[in-house]
Structure 1
Amino acid sequence: MTALSRLHTSLFAPLDRNDWILPTLARFLFAAVLAAYFWVSGMTKLGDGVLGIFQPSLGAYAQIFPKAMEAVGYDTTQLSFYHWAVVTLGTVAEFILPLLIIVGLMTRLSSLAMIVFIVVQSLTDLNGHDKWGDGLVLGAWFDAPSNSLIMDQRSLWVFLLIVLVVKGAGPLSFDRALKPRAPAA
């Protein structure tokens, strides 16, 4: 048993000293798996023209405030400044937060904001789009299917972001490059 323990230690001890692996891999996987998802989602919310981000599309309001849009007959002029602000800030967040995470700038704060974004997105899917009863959307933990949208997929997204909140961006990041250096002794 001692030989097995020594073998285990010799194989895995280098990983204990390489704290850069998890945050770097987490940012890479976020870029590889989720960045395009959020980019495409943000693009569907843009209005026409150069300033389309400040004039969200009808679809943006319908995605974020489905019940309110139905109540006003899909006439965005009947919605308040609050609705416009939420849709606009949500759209900006879909572009800015993933970019900040990928380049490793303000990574902890951006990852925390992205977690809040995902929670709000999930609650909108469940409440706004009436998906509470849809087992494939909500799903459940500790069940055989692993393909539910919220309990399975989005909980893994959040875990990936929690790694970045806890560990930071890692060495290949603007956060590290901008970090003040300790004076030489």
Structure 2
Amino acid sequence: MNYLLRLGDRAADRLEAAFGRTVLTTLARFTFAATLLVYFWGSAMTKIGDGPLGLFSPALGAYAQIFPRAMAAAGFDASQLAPWQHGIVMAGTWTELLLPALVVVGLVTRLAALGMIGFVIVQTATDLVGHGALADPAALGAWFDRSPDAPILDQRLIWIALLSIPAVLGGGPMSVDGWLKRRAQAASG
């Protein structure tokens, strides 16, 4: 039995040495692109205001999504919100546009993935407290149950686990970061 375990370990070690980082980092970024890129960009598009300067003037819905209770208290008049709230809405909108793109192409990948993990945590807190998902067992879900698709606990944990790969390992050799690293090494050496 030990022989079989050692044989399996040796084969796995060789595969990992040859392909591990390349496959894992590329697969993580591809999976993020295939499953979450359009989700985040679609969400960002609902926050962009009208006209060519819409990126600098978020839509009313952006404030309602990010600060639902404050907007309700202000009669859904965004001008009644504090300047810091306007800054957070703008930052959240830009974050949903830029960080997913950086993760997918693999540029400043570790920082972008860490930023996305932080974004998912803030998004989850907003959903739980601001939108009341904490009181909705179907939305909240539970770990270690038979249902793996609850929007909050299950899905957000999977998103964070997926983003942890590029946060720890970077974009890998098949990324802009990898290309820039190879280019710098060739120039110095």
Q: TM-score if structure 1 supplies the norm length?
A: 0.94
Query: Does residue 172 of the first structure (1) align with residue 174 of the second (2)?
Result: yes
Question: SS at 1:4's partner residue?
Answer: helix
Report the structure, 1 or 2, having the larger helix content: 2
Runs ≥4 residues deviating over 4 A: none
Residues in 2 aligned to 1:142 and 1:6: alpha-carbon distance in whole angstroms: 32
Provide Cα deviations, 1:102-149, integer angstroms capped at 9, x if missing partner. Answer: 110000000000000000000000100111121122211111111111
Q: State the alpha-carbon separation in 2 of the partners of residues 147 and 72 from structure 1.
A: 35
Which deviates further from its counterpart, 42-51 or 144-153?
Answer: 144-153
The Cα offsets for residues 7-34 of structure 1, whole Å up to 9 and x where unpaired, read as 4245423322122111110000000000
Contact 1:24 1:169 in 2 (8 A): yes
Q: 2:185 aligns with which of 175, 178, 181?
A: 181
* Residue number in structure 2 paired with 1:14: 14
In 1, distance between residues paired with 2:41 and 2:99? 10
2:81 partner letter: L
Count of aligned pairs: 184
Equivalence for 1:5: 5
Distance 2:43 2:75 in 1: 23
User: What is the aligned counterpart of 2:134 among 129, 132, 135?
Assistant: 132
| Aligned equivalent of 2:62, options 60, 63, 66 | 60
**Contact 1:46–1:52 at 8 Å: present in 2 too?**
yes
What does 1:20-169 align with in structure 2 at a 5 Å threshold?
A: 20-169=22-171
Superposed CA RMSD = 1.5
Identity %: 50
Assess if the C-alpha contact under 8 Å between 1:137 and 1:148 holds in 2: yes
TM-score (norm 2): 0.92
Q: Is the 8 A contact 1:136 1:147 kept in 2?
A: no
2:26 alignment partner AA: T
